[in-house]
Amino acid sequence: MLLDFSPAEWQAIALSIKVSFVATLFSLPLALTAAYALARWDFFGKQFLNGLVHLPLVLPPVVTGYLLLVVFGTRGPVGAFLQDWGLVFAFRWTGAALAAAIMAFPLMVRAIRLSLEAVDPKLEQAGATLGASPVWIFLTITLPLSVPGILAGTVLGFAKALGEFGATITFVSAVPGQTQTVPSAIYALLQVPGQENAALRLVLVSVVLAMGALLLSEVLARRTMKRMTGV
Amino acid sequence: MSLSISIQHSFDGFALDVSFEVPKGLTVLYGRSGSGKSTIINAVSGLIRPDNAKISIDEQVLQDSGAGIFMPAYKRKLGYIFQDSRLFPHLTVTRNLDYGARAARRGIDTVQRERVIEMLGIGDLLDRRPLGLSGGEKQRVAIGRALLADPQLILADEPLASLDAARKAEILPYFERIRDETGIPIIYVSHSANEVARLATTVVALEGGKVLRKGPALDVLADPTTMPMGVGQVGAVLNVRIKAHHQDGLTELDASGDSYFLPHVKADIGTNLRVRLPASDVMLATTRPSGLSALNIVAGRVEAIQDTGASSAIVTVSTRAGAVLARVTRRSVSAMALDVGVPCFAIVKTVAIASDT
């Protein structure tokens, strides 16, 4: 049977979902902050921040992975520090999640920034004249009005995290059960003759997960839009 | 309540330099676009921070550049009615109305809310979203939202400019009611002489970032030297009283002894009104004309003649009810030998009801 997954394949699928979920969860608040800063504030070094955010999008993933290894590896400055606090990235699923989060980050920031910029500042001004503080305005006007974009960005980030390969394999290798996500499992299977069927199964899983995520984001965005404006 | 405004601000090659006090009632900032009127209310609201300003309501300082004081917009207790209503699209009408109270973590005063909803006639809209509302409905909700923010001052930036004539007529009475019933002072930006004639207690006429003239509405509008909107909009405003409804469908208005006739006016005998007589719709004659279809002919005396261009002039005729302005050619002025003190008759073609007083 084509869809008869082996335990190792299930393991890769479950791990991929866990890694992507955690990566997205932790990226979201940071992406929201970065997107808001880029969309609404003028500050010294804004272009630098913008470049930094987008760097993972344009760097070769292997370079990103290597830099992660240097910084977050057991001997890296941040990695060594976090290790003292019990958080280890090297060759662990947490490292895969970190790599996925960093690779997904620019996509999330871009989508969220666009939706924040689409919120009419005139509405925020109206909120201010009605006595709403900046935080209250953000929570009751800016954030609800950009929910469709934030959802789209989140799903896009999740899909990107699912597909992350280059940075992950460079940073944390492909340890089955720890860091071997679906893409690296497919890669490993393709290196061995006669495993085409197994590889094909995982390829199908990737396609289904990615399509599902995209459809979900469409549905959610449409529903929120409807709930918010009544059309 | 007294609002004192002094602003010096320059941007994009435009310099605003104004200083005036806003008395109670409705004060119209009157001028063409670019005269600085919107900049003034945005400075009062705190939405912009002018270079140099001193703005205070009674003892409360909103901005004092000299002392480095700038109170952010959300701390100023204002109600701002925008031209483009700016309702929150994701909130129902009720939530829009309650926004100010919720933002201030203040309990919702349901009695006050009921009164405002009833006054504005928006009871049927409460569960709807702004997107499905007509322009007039949106603006009524926006007025209600501003009123329910518990303001000590209401700012309105051309609130009727984006509405058609019918919707304007629908919204105007609400501003009269706010002016007369709430006692909250209102600063109202407009470039429409009709709105000024109808609503204003006080007019601040602005031109090129300077105050051209400030005073009671009737005085400013009857003064041909105050023409921030150009000669086309000059016209006298008179206080009149409904004297009689005649069989032939005409309503007779009494203006301190002069009679004016209008097609039927829906108001009781004895009601006080303001009427506006656009100067371009007033002709002059040195003898009482006969054989003329015009009904409204009043006697007076030339009080002043003001040239307004190469060929035209505005003649101020003092009548029993006050000054009536006529826009005539300079050729007519000399042909008729009009001069200060000369008796004459004003033939008024248009009498527009401006408001109840």
User: Mean pLDDT across chain B, nearest whole number?
Assistant: 88
Confidence grade of residue A127 (pLDDT, cut at 50, 70, 90): very high
- Distance between CA atoms of A147 and B287, rounded to whole angstroms? 74
Question: Starting from the edge strand earliest in sequence, which strands make up the sheet with B153-157, in order?
Answer: B78-81, B153-157, B186-190, B26-30, B202-207, B210-216
Query: Is the CB of A129 less than 8 angstroms away from the CB of B79?
Result: yes
C-alpha distance from B88 to closest chain A C-alpha (Å): 7
Model confidence pLDDT, tens digit, residues A138-187: 999 999 998 888 988 999 899 999 999 999 999 988 888 888 999 999 99
Distance of alpha carbon A156 from its chain centroid, rounded?
Answer: 7
Strands B186-190 and B26-30: parallel
Whole-number pLDDT of residue B228: 57
* Confidence grade of residue A207 (pLDDT, cut at 50, 70, 90): very high
Record the tokens describing residue A125, joined without a space: 């001004």
pLDDT for the residue numbered A88: 84
pLDDT score recorded for residue B357: 45
| B84 interfacial to chain A (CB closer than 8 Å) | yes
Number of residues written out for chain A: 231
| pLDDT for res B56 | 92
State phi, psi for B176 to the nearest 5 degrees.
Answer: -60, -40
Other CB atoms within 10 A of residue B187 CB:
25
Q: Which of B211, B214, B143 is nearest to B173 (CA)?
A: B143
C-alpha atoms less than 13 angstroms from C-alpha of B299 in its C-beta half-sphere = 4
pLDDT at B6: 94
B 151-210: CB under 8 A from A: 155
Q: How far apart are CA B260 and CA B296, in angstroms?
A: 5
pTM of the model: 0.80
Is A111 inside any structural domain?
A: yes
Q: Is residue A2 part of a domain?
A: no
pLDDT of B230 above 50: yes
Q: Is residue A78 part of a domain?
A: yes
Written as one string, the DSSP assignment of B224-260 is TT--TT-GGG-EEEEEEEEEEE-TTSEEEEEETTEEE
Residue A1 lies in a domain: no
**B311 pLDDT above the threshold of 80:** yes
pLDDT classification of B208: cutoffs 50, 70, 90: confident
Three-state SS letters, B82-126? CCCCCCCCCCCHHHHHHHHHHHCCCCCCHHHHHHHHHHHCCHHHC
Q: For B168, how many CA atoms within 13 A lie in the half-sphere containing its CB? A: 14
Average pLDDT, chain A: 89
* Cβ-contact B239, B198 below 8 angstroms: no
HSE-up (13 A, CA, CB side) for residue B177: 15
With a cut of 80, say whether residue A4 has pLDDT above it: no
**A209 in a domain, yes or no?**
yes
Structure tokens at A20: 């992507």
Per-residue pLDDT at A87: 85
| Residue among A130, A134, A141 whose CB faces B100 most closely | A130
When mean pLDDT is compared over A221-230, B84-93, B232-241, the highest value belongs to B84-93
Band the pLDDT of B156: cuts 50, 70, 90.
very high
**What pLDDT is recorded for position A2?**
60
CATH 2.40.50.100 fits B235-356, yes or no: yes
CB atoms inside a 10 Å sphere around CB B263: 8
Please tell me what DSSP assigns to residue B309: S
Instruction: State yes or no: ipTM above 0.85.
Output: no
pLDDT digits (tens, 9 = 90+) for A73-106: 888 888 888 888 888 887 889 999 999 999 999 9
| Top-level class of domain B3-221 | alpha beta
Q: How far is B155 from chain A (nearest CA, A)?
A: 10
Which SS3 state, helix, strand or coil, does residue B157 take?
A: strand
pLDDT, tens digit, 9 for 90 and up, residues B34-52: 888 999 999 999 999 998 9
Task: Decide if B220 contacts B213 (C-beta within 8 A).
Answer: yes
Q: What is the pLDDT of residue B225?
A: 72
Question: Which among A127, A137, A229 is the nearest to B89, CB-wise?
Answer: A229
What are the structural domain ranges in chain B? Answer: 3-221, 235-356
- How many Å apart are CA A15 and CA A174, to the nearest integer? 12
Question: Rg for chain A (alpha carbons), in Å?
Answer: 20
CB contact under 8 A, B129 and A144: no
CATH at residue A89? 1.10.3720.10
- Tell me if chain A has a CB within 8 Å of the CB of B246: no
Predicted local confidence at residue B300, as pLDDT: 93
Q: How far apart are CA B246 and CA B263, in angstroms?
A: 10
* Chain B residues inside the 8 Å CB shell of A144: 90
Q: How many domains does chain A have?
A: 1
Residue B100 has pLDDT above 70, yes or no: yes
The proportion of chain A whose per-residue pLDDT surpasses 70, expressed as a percent, equals 97
Confidence of residue A132 (pLDDT cuts 50, 70, 90): very high
Domain that holds residue A74: 7-229
* Cβ within 8 Å, pair B99-A136: no
Instruction: Count CB atoms within 10 A of the CB of residue B107.
Output: 8
Interface contact flag, A126 B82, Cβ < 8 Å: yes
List chain A residues with CB under 8 Å of B88: 123, 126-127, 141
Number of helices (H) and strands (E) in chain B: give both, helices first.
8, 21
Q: What percent of chain B has pLDDT over 70?
A: 97
A126 to B74: CB separation less than 8 angstroms, yes or no: no
> What pLDDT is recorded for position A165?
92
Q: Give the three-class secondary structure for A186.
A: helix
The string of pLDDT tens digits covering residues B56-93 is: 998 889 999 989 999 999 999 999 999 999 999 999 99
For residues B7-21, one letter each, b for 16 or more C-beta atoms within 10 angstroms of the residue's C-beta and e for the rest, the string is bbbeeeeeebebebe
